[in-house]
Structure 1
């Protein structure tokens, strides 16, 4: 590799790293507790005990559940209905309009067997950390900005790998020169840990970027896949009286009896059309539980219009979020994710330290440092 090529890659690594490091440090620090968000939430805010009923107690009709939720939020309309993965609990989200902002929504939890209202969720420290992690408390465009930082991080990783080859040409892999200067020792640690965390950091950086694009990706899906479904049938105008939500779920489940319901999106919200109940089913294995199959039921007539797999880009988005937080392999995978997260914090911090303690002079000296394995 020529000096000119090394210099170009060095400048890419330098500037992509400098621009994104502060934000990546924030994301890694806030992401560490979010890996264990379920366990921390269960400790800080344990779920309310449910009525001790036999395991065979049947669930109420979803229409009954919705009627009880409506009584708690008069004037609202249902937006989403979701199902707890571990307990017989149904969550109902309501709001004044289908496009209501989260601050205007009401979030209700009901016992699926009795319809009893459960204590409302109160935002706590983990909700604050999640909001800080996703958009720095600044909304949609801040979320998009963090996605761009994720792309810069990936560029920094790629350029760092390219520079690692000439740097290590004069050294054995994993060499830590402890008997030399402090800066040289941290340079060796930075390079070694950067290679060790290479795959993990790439996966988490790219899935994090994908997670920031939920709104535009879903918009593409609605403009393409849903458009054909919406246009395929004449529509009966939606009025106050709508088709049974329970019947809609039953109709979709008959098409995929081996799957279980994940959530139902009501007409007008992000994951549905203006005319449909969108019923999302999930698989029952650790992998297929993250992949959703939607069915669309006309909310005016109750007619099942389609049960169709989501396109690859929507499936990629659905897989990205749990993969980003290591939510696939139970506690063992979460611990691995936490270890790599901590190592990445060291990589980012050491890179910042190396820049602050840089030797004076133009970038040509940095290039010579790469060629001479830090001896320049």
Structure 2
């Protein structure tokens, strides 16, 4: 590689790394507890478990569950109702003052079999894990914060690619994994930085890419609604949001959706007027029962008045990419083993980012000192620009 080309790649690697490093450190630090959010939730008491009952215990009508939830917060409306991936025996009812997205929500947890109230007012908008989540997702800045972090993720990908380009000629002179302990402290840290950078390369690229995609979620969903649902909703144009008194039992909507897509499981239901539905439908989001298909959602739009299925569109490729990237980002595919691997790689990435920042700070102090050329013969691009 020509010297001029190396200098260009070194400049790209230097500035893309420096600009994103502090934010990537923040994301790695906040992402570490989020990998174990279920386990930490159990410790903090924010994870609720259903009491043990025979597996064939029948479930009560969803309308009874909603009636109980509304009685706890009569001043609020039901925005979503959902089930977790782990069990079908618990309903999570999300209630707000308005159908629009808001941080002011309450979650009522109800036993799906007995309609027993398990948690009347569980809050997910406070506490340690909520702070970690908001810092990781949007820096408490909403959509602008998400897009900013997405741009930082893009710079991370640029830094990774440029680092690989610079690492290739560097390693022609050294064996893989070499740490030159007899050299200066800066050179030893540089070798460790390069070694762990290559070891974590694929993981950091995958996590950075999926994290960047996740920051586009709000925009992707809005585009999907405009692109895929506008023709479906054309017959309802001009009609007001269906009132609660005019709606058919929600259990009928759920049954109709399950019959439309046999062999699926419920993920959540979005009610009329909310961000994931239309003003006229209960939108039932179903998922598969296999490890991969369990992360993919199939929306079924059910008329809230008649309980008739209006549409069950296949999700487009860009929404599939979003749904796959979300669990992959946090290592939610492979159980506990995957979580541990993700955590170890996260810690290694913190080291890579921290040493990169250290090397840049040390470079200024060492600039006036003579360069040790005893073993290398000349300064490598990596010694000049970490």
User: What is the TM-score with the length of structure 1 in the denominator?
Assistant: 0.93
Matches within 5 A, 1:8-157: 8-45=8-45, 47-48=47-48, 50-87=50-87, 88-103=89-104, 105-119=105-119, 120-122=121-123, 123-157=126-160
> What is the match of residue 222 of structure 1?
225
Q: Distance in 1 between matches of 2:101 and 2:332?
A: 29
> What is the match of residue 360 of structure 1?
367
**What are the Cα deviations for residues 327-360 of structure 1, in whole angstroms up to 9, with x where unaligned?**
1001111111111111111110110111001142
Structure 1 pair 209/182, CA: closer, same or farther in 2 (3 Å)?
Answer: same
State the Cα distance separating 1:302 from its structure 2 match: 1.8
User: What is the TM-score with the length of structure 2 in the denominator?
Assistant: 0.90
Q: Distance in 2 between matches of 1:45 and 1:168?
A: 50
**What are the Cα deviations for residues 139-176 of structure 1, in whole angstroms up to 9, with x where unaligned?**
32112211111111111001101111122222122211
CA contact (8 A) 1:77 1:94 kept: yes
SS in 2 for 1:229: coil
Matches within 5 A, 1:200-215: 200-215=203-218
State the Cα distance separating 1:242 from its structure 2 match: 0.7
> What is the match of residue 251 of structure 1?
256
> What is the match of residue 364 of structure 1?
none
> What is the match of residue 195 of structure 1?
198
1:269 correspondence with 2:274:
yes
Structure 1 pair 302/143, CA: closer, same or farther in 2 (3 Å)?
Answer: same
CA contact (8 A) 2:300 2:311 kept: yes
Say which of 270, 286, 290 aligns to 2:291.
286
SS in 2 for 1:93: strand
Greater shift after overlay, 291-300 or 93-102?
Answer: 93-102
Q: Distance in 1 between matches of 2:76 and 2:49?
A: 28
Structure 1 pair 243/331, CA: closer, same or farther in 2 (3 Å)?
Answer: same
Q: Distance in 1 between matches of 2:280 and 2:309?
A: 12
Matches within 5 A, 1:150-189: 150-189=153-192
State the Cα distance separating 1:223 from its structure 2 match: 0.5
Q: Distance in 1 between matches of 2:384 and 2:17?
A: 22
State the Cα distance separating 1:136 from its structure 2 match: 2.1
**What are the Cα deviations for residues 252-296 of structure 1, in whole angstroms up to 9, with x where unaligned?**
111222111010011122211222111011111111110111100
Q: Distance in 2 between matches of 1:274 and 1:2?
A: 61
CA contact (8 A) 2:299 2:313 kept: yes
**What are the Cα deviations for residues 42-97 of structure 1, in whole angstroms up to 9, with x where unaligned?**
12216456455433221111111111111111132211010133341101112222
Q: Distance in 1 between matches of 2:384 and 2:264?
A: 61
State the Cα distance separating 1:244 from its structure 2 match: 2.1
Structure 1 pair 345/51, CA: closer, same or farther in 2 (3 Å)?
Answer: closer
In structure 2, runs of 5+ residues without a counterpart are: 369-377
Q: Distance in 2 between matches of 1:138 and 1:234?
A: 33
SS in 2 for 1:172: coil
In structure 1, runs of 5+ residues without a counterpart are: 362-367
Q: Distance in 1 between matches of 2:10 and 2:184?
A: 22
Structure 1 pair 374/234, CA: closer, same or farther in 2 (3 Å)?
Answer: closer
Greater shift after overlay, 224-233 or 333-342?
Answer: 224-233
SS in 1 for 2:275: coil
CA contact (8 A) 1:167 1:374 kept: no
Q: Distance in 2 between matches of 1:27 and 1:375?
A: 27
CA RMSD, Structure 1 to Structure 2 (Å): 2.0
For this pair of structures, how many residues does the alignment match?
A: 368
Q: Distance in 2 between matches of 1:296 and 1:56?
A: 29
Structure 1 pair 327/50, CA: closer, same or farther in 2 (3 Å)?
Answer: closer
